[in-house]
Amino acid sequence: MADKQQTLKTSVSFEGIGLHTGKPAKITFHPAPANYGYKFIRTDLEKPFEIPALVDYVVDLSRGTTLGIGDVKVHTVEHVLASLVGLEIDNCRIELNGPEPPIGDGSSLQYVEVLQSAGTETQDEERCYLVIDENIRYFNEQKEVEIVALPLDDYRITVMVDYHNPALGSQHSGLFDLKKEFVKEFAPARTFCFLTEVESLIKQGLIQGGKLDNAIVIIDRDMKQDELANLQTQLKLDVTPQLGTNGILNNTELRYKNEPARHKLLDMLGDLALAGTRIKGQILAARPGHASNVEFAKLIRALYLKKQPIKNFKGDKSKGVVLDIYDLLRIMPHRYPFLLVDKVIEYDAQGQSIVGVKNVTMNEPFFIGHFPEKPIMPGVLIMEALAQTGCLLLLNSIDDFSDKLVLFMGIKNAKFRKPVIPGDQMIMEVKMLGKKFNTYMFTAKAIVLGTVVAECEFQAALVNRDM
């Protein structure tokens, strides 16, 4: 039986307070088409703004994983993503009316319950997996963090935590069967921190929505009564917290003996979702955190993209060419003297980045007038070449590109750092930043012999040819 993708049967919502921003938030999960993946949409802005849940868009890791494009951010996404992965939901449109999802009780339990109430629907497309067929290792000697992925025809995660702190000690936990174990054994595991960290986090402007019912606070030092009273004021608690006797502030009872280790595994499950693929492999992690999880997710994603064929284009991939000139003539609407891409040598199967090549020769028609005695490629044509390379990203993102055009909409932060002259080979790297409706944002740079000669950000729109 084929392993098919799943989405939700219906839309469902959950409301609450963001842990770090302290702002009221409503999150709504919607069904999404096959191969959509996970995308966050900020609906509180003038125009809804979409941020793909991919490691490329991680912008901050201060006590949580934050995605962003420009000034638009979505904080603390790991519990949401862990819930979707744990319930084996492949495609979901996630709308937020604020910058951060509600924290609930500090676990993924509330997300799981609301998603289960929606039910799932099987889709026609098969699931995509990265099958780990070689060992992948991340190591941070300074923080004593090590994460390894080993070949296995399943998905398992084992986590060990040791903060060299007697208040917590060493703990470990392992998830060996997502379908059987996630909901009961890991979704309810709550976030935690040490008592000595609380005041520092408040000073950093974090945990503004933090309460003692949405986090486990581990006692790692004595506190006088006036300090506890001050903590009550800072956290806006109804009563003064107490040190208690079980090593946790207010004598909060753990749901599992190793609840902190289980929560670390929950975080890792969510962070690794940012690789943009399901994984078949065994993950072993010692002292992981969001920063290390994201670095490891980058390694996973890079390997996944390396193994993926591109969707619409069937170019000859021998000798490092993904699309040759014959493919470009079939795909691109441009012709002499305005086709400014000669070949494509790299392509991200998820449609997020592309690398094109422009061979600049003395036979280019613009050198006749720019300039006769000192030929230099016009800067506007370098920008056009970058835009044409970006055009290929959009055309491959749709099923039928034959009746579509990509139009240049705007450009900013353009910089020309070095002249491009006959004999140069321009390597053009273009990355998609995001989209609003049918308008897409890109960042791009042109490189000659390892040196950036020009860079910019630009916008383009995908329109019908008969507009």
Residues annotated as catalytic are 290, 370
- Cβ neighbours of residue 46 under 8 Å, at least 6 residues apart? none
State which H helix or E strand residue 305 sits in.
helix 290-307
Neighbours of 176 (CB within 10 A): 13
Tokens found for residue 6: 């799943």
Distance CA 54, CA 68 (A): 10
- Contact call for residues 269 and 143 (beta carbons, < 8 A): no
Distance CA 306, CA 81 (A): 24
CB-count exposure of residue 119 (10 Å: 0-12, 13-18, 19+): exposed
- Contact call for residues 67 and 42 (beta carbons, < 8 A): no
Angle between helices 290-307 and 259-272 (to 10 degrees): 40
**DSSP assignment, residue 318?**
G
| SS3 category, 39 | strand
H runs (alpha helix) in 308-409: 325-331, 379-395
- Contact call for residues 268 and 285 (beta carbons, < 8 A): yes
- Contact call for residues 83 and 115 (beta carbons, < 8 A): yes
| SS3 category, 165 | coil
Residue with tokens 């470009």: 328
Torsion angle of the four alpha carbons 205, 207, 208, 211, in this order, in degrees rounded to the nearest 10: -160
Neighbouring-strand partners of residue 460 = 408, 440
Query: What is each CA distance from 314 to 167, 246, 328, 343, 400, in whole angstroms?
Result: 58, 63, 11, 13, 14
- Contact call for residues 179 and 166 (beta carbons, < 8 A): no
- Contact call for residues 397 and 350 (beta carbons, < 8 A): no
Polymer length in residues for the chain: 467
**DSSP assignment, residue 420?**
-
Beta strands in 360-437, from DSSP E residues, in sequence order: 404-416, 425-436
Neighbours of 260 (CB within 10 A): 24
Distance CA 326, CA 328 (A): 5
- Contact call for residues 335 and 365 (beta carbons, < 8 A): no
